[in-house]
Amino acid sequence: MIENARSIDRTATVLLLLGSVFVLLPLAFVAITATQSYGDFLRNNFSLLPGTHFWDNVAAVWSLTDLPRQIMNSVIVAALVSGGKCFLAFTTAYAVVFFRTRYVPLVYAAVVASIMLPIELRVITVYQVASNLALPVNAAANTGGLWAVLFGAPLDLQLNALDSYAGIALPLMAQGAGTLILVQFFKTLPRDLARAATMDGAGPLRFMADVLLPLSKGPLLSLFIYFFIGGWVDYMWPLVAASSPEMQTAVVGLARLGPGMEEDIPNYPLEMTGAIMVTVIPLVLIALTQRRIVRGLALSEK
Amino acid sequence: MSNAFFRNRWLPFWLASPQLLVMFLFFYLPVFLAFFWAFHLERPFGGGSQFVGWANFQRVLADQEFWAALRRTVVYMLLASGSSILVALILALAADRAVRLSPLARNLLIWPKAVAIASVGVIFLFIFNPFLGVLAPLNEVFPGIWNPRINPLHTWIMIYIANIWSAIPFTFIILLTGLQAIPETLHKAAAMDGAGPWRRLRDIQLPLLTPQLFVAVVLEVADSLSGSFGLIDTMTQGGPGGATNMLVYKIYVDGFKAYDLSGAATQTAMLMVVVAGITALQYLFLEKRVKYER
């Protein structure tokens, strides 16, 4: 340290302590409440002492609600979203950085512009598209009544993606942040990488698969974890895209758990147990891979 | 683009085509459709569309609730992003000091990232429950001193606290990374010239942090808007008495509960213009103050 700054360090410690308490306290309340039985909870309301009923509550949530199935849905959807985003970002970023072709900057701009309007802003019409993926095909075929003239009736293909894993995951992939981050990473690679590979007789696809992909393992893994958590915690799109409880994701299921309970006083111990079950996978991921995620994110704003 | 090496004509297009297809279907087409439906009405019984000019806009703009929701949305975007960035900045400045608690705090402060905004809503709704939550004892002594179900001010306080809790990690990471990239030598040189910690904060750390602050502002403004849905839907459903009905939530209700496709699309189109405008303003006015040189 530069000067004798014990008072500053003390202030910093106090601030960090306050911040950590602010972050941990709600989680502690959740954990404590999840260990109470409903009867205890009704008698004592909110309590500061942990109870002994956590596993009973877990068993109750497991057998009474759709959460187990919905947690499985979340794993599948988050993996699809994240894997899809990483794949799309990788091929696009490769095309953008390593090719000298004229339209490439245009592709890049079109992809990155999508960061500006998150899916929460377009949900009405994304829903319309997802309810019939053939919409643009129909529209193109029916321009000027062409199809009706040729075949007697307007083209009306139906391809409903709602209430399916693909229908939930695909619209969430339409976001350009991954491409942006990988483009920044590719630009930091040595300039003559592609030249050297070509001299060794590798074509562009070979170079992508055998040189670039192994080099990008680290950033891709960070991105995958980050997008996995992002896909897990998404709420608005999975809420409208899945109409049946069997297809809903865990976060949606948890939010629907509360008001629907029949008791006058909500069974908060069960609800908080559900909150823990819904959150534990991404929370463990983030606590264990914190450094990797931070490094992956830091890549993005240079 | 120094790395550009290959000259194939169509290969980059094929490589990017899956991405472009996804973007077309779920980004550009929906944006187009929002503007399309803003100028059309759905014919009843699924009979296609009918061009109605500006009629949808006239209807929406004459609706008092739209203006109220828009005002709430803009105020919320400013206050929510401002408050969460301020808290994250203070914590990042503290974590930048090499105190013993710093590594642990850095890990802990990122945890809320794993909790979905809707789950945050569920959790904080319980914590702030006037009769069963942490403030229930206070309510027993002074009945009615805290009731977010009736008092809109209390409702907003609850929402802002939940939002700050949820928004800390991302901004904290960005700002801390920026702070740590500031060379120690600058601090030393300034200290030798007699600059105290406050002076260094004002003249070195904050100016050099402007690129990260800019990124944080842009992302946090957008995040507060999209996150508002999860909080409002789980905590208040727009209540009490419509006091927390923000535009994203109103559009959802109009479109999915009232089946008013054109009305919802018209509001979506206007919200898109507002968001694009705010982003443009940020680049015009804020980015000028960013110092990229070190």
Q: Which two tokens stand for residue B194?
A: 């007699």
Highest mean pLDDT among A62-66, A84-88, A143-147, A158-162: A84-88
Alpha helical stretches, state H, B47-151: 55-61, 64-96, 102-108, 117-127, 136-141
Instruction: Pick the more confident residue, A17 or B43.
Output: A17
What ipTM is given for this predicted complex? 0.89
Closest CA to B222 of B248, B259, B195, B183: B248
Which residue type does B143 have? Answer: P
What does the pLDDT read at residue A190?
84
The distance from CA A298 to its chain's CA centroid, rounded to whole angstroms, is: 18
What does the pLDDT read at residue A297?
62
Rounded Cα gap, residues B257 and B237, in angstroms: 12
Segment 48-77 of chain A within 8 Å of chain B by CB: none
- Asked if residue A128 has pLDDT above 80, the reply is yes
Closest CA to B140 of B130, B149, B148, B150: B130
Angle in degrees, 0-180, between the axes of helices A67-98 and A104-112, rounded to the nearest 10: 150
Rounded Cα gap, residues A57 and A60, in angstroms: 5
CA-based end-to-end distance of chain B = 23
Q: Helix (H, G, I), strand (E, B), or coil: what is residue A165?
A: helix
- Asked if residue B270 has pLDDT above 60, the reply is yes
- Asked if residue B173 has pLDDT above 60, the reply is yes
Burial class (CB within 10 angstroms; exposed 0-12, middle 13-18, buried 19+) of A150: exposed
CA-based max dimension of chain B? 78
Give bridge partners of residue B40 from the DSSP assignment: B51
What does the pLDDT read at residue A235?
94
CB atoms within 10 A of CB B65: 13
Size of interface A-B (CB pairs under 8 A): 326
Using a CB-CB distance cutoff of 8 angstroms, which residues of chain B are in contact with residue A5? Answer: 197
Q: Does A301 touch chain B (CB under 8 A)?
A: yes
Using a CB-CB distance cutoff of 8 angstroms, which residues of chain A are in contact with residue B276? Answer: 116-117
pLDDT band of residue A19 (cuts 50, 70, 90) is: very high
Percent of chain A, pLDDT > 90?
43
Judged by CB atoms closer than 8 Å, whether chains meet at B252 and A123 is answered as yes
Instruction: Pick the more confident residue, A147 or B54.
Output: B54
Interface test with A, best of B10, B17, B23, B32 (most A CBs within 10 A): B23
Asked if A276 contacts A30 with a C-beta cutoff of 8 angstroms, the reply is yes
Instruction: Pick the more confident residue, A72 or A47.
Output: A72
CB atoms within 10 A of CB A48: 9
Asked if A254 contacts A281 with a C-beta cutoff of 8 angstroms, the reply is no
Q: Which two tokens stand for residue B178?
A: 């920026």
Using a CB-CB distance cutoff of 8 angstroms, which residues of chain B are in contact with residue A120? Answer: 225-226, 229, 248
What does the pLDDT read at residue A239?
94
What are the backbone angles phi and psi of residue A115, rounded to the nearest 5°? -65, -25
Closest CA to B256 of A131, A156, A134: A131
Rounded Cα gap, residues B263 and A82, in angstroms: 33
Asked if B97 contacts B106 with a C-beta cutoff of 8 angstroms, the reply is no
The H or E element that residue A62 is part of is helix A54-64
For residue range A85-107, what is the model confidence (pLDDT) as tens digits? 999 999 999 999 999 888 999 99
Residue A283, Ramachandran bin (φ over 0: left; ψ between -120 and 50: alpha; else beta): alpha
User: To the nearest whole angstrom, how far is the Cα of B65 from the nearest Cα of chain A?
Assistant: 18
For residue range A191-229, what is the model confidence (pLDDT) as tens digits? 788 888 888 888 889 999 999 999 998 889 989 999 999
User: To the nearest whole angstrom, how far is the Cα of A9 from the nearest Cα of chain B?
Assistant: 6
Judged by CB atoms closer than 8 Å, whether chains meet at B1 and A194 is answered as no
Give the 3-state secondary structure of B175-197.
Answer: HHHHHHCCCHHHHHHHHHCCCCH
Going along chain B from its start, the domains and CATH numbers come out as 64-289 (1.10.3720.10)
CA-based end-to-end distance of chain A = 27
Instruction: Pick the more confident residue, A48 or B258.
Output: B258
For residue range A46-71, what is the model confidence (pLDDT) as tens digits? 677 788 888 988 988 888 888 999 99
Rounded Cα gap, residues B37 and A126, in angstroms: 13
pLDDT band of residue B41 (cuts 50, 70, 90) is: confident
